[in-house]
Amino acid sequence: MKARVTISLKNGVLDPQGKAIEHALHGLGFDGVNDVRQGKIIELDLGDIAKENAASEVERMCTQLLANTVIENYSIELLD
């Protein structure tokens, strides 16, 4: 079982890196870009684990370490 965790800053939390990317895209002529938010993806290889256990295990990993829920949202995808 593999899992992919996507972490992004919450709405309302300033994302200076996203802003810098937005400015750079505008500089390249991509004027249609209204906003950029950046984040990170963490891929986990969980070995032989039942799908239902994997979901709760990754959830715990997110709240304890992978994401800081003061400033970040996370979403979990389980990949067979």
Partner 1 sequence: MKAAVIVFPGSNCDRDMKVAIEQSLGHAPSMVWHADTELPPTDLIAIPGGFSYGDYLRCGAIAGNSPIMREVVKKASQGTLVLAVCNGFQVATETGMLPGALLRNANQKFICKDVDLKVVSDNKYFAGSFTKGDTVRFPVAHHDGNYFADEETRKRLHGEGMIAFQYADADGNVNAETNINGSVDNIAGIYNEKGNILADAASGTPDKRRAGWHGRQSVFR
Write out the residues near partner 1 by the rule CB under 8 A. 9, 13-14, 16-17, 19-20, 64-66, 68, 70-71
Instruction: For the CB of residue 1, give the shortest distance to partner 1 in the complex, in Å.
Output: 22
Instruction: For the CB of residue 71, give the shortest distance to partner 1 in the complex, in Å.
Output: 5
Do the beta carbons of residue 3 and residue 77 sit within 8 Å? yes
Question: Which of 9, 54 has the CB closer to partner 1?
Answer: 9
Instruction: For the CB of residue 57, give the shortest distance to partner 1 in the complex, in Å.
Output: 16
Burial 17-40 (b: 16+ CB within 10 A, else e): ebeeebeeeeeeeeeeeeebeebe
Question: Which of 26, 51 has the CB closer to partner 1?
Answer: 26
Question: Which of 17, 53 has the CB closer to partner 1?
Answer: 17
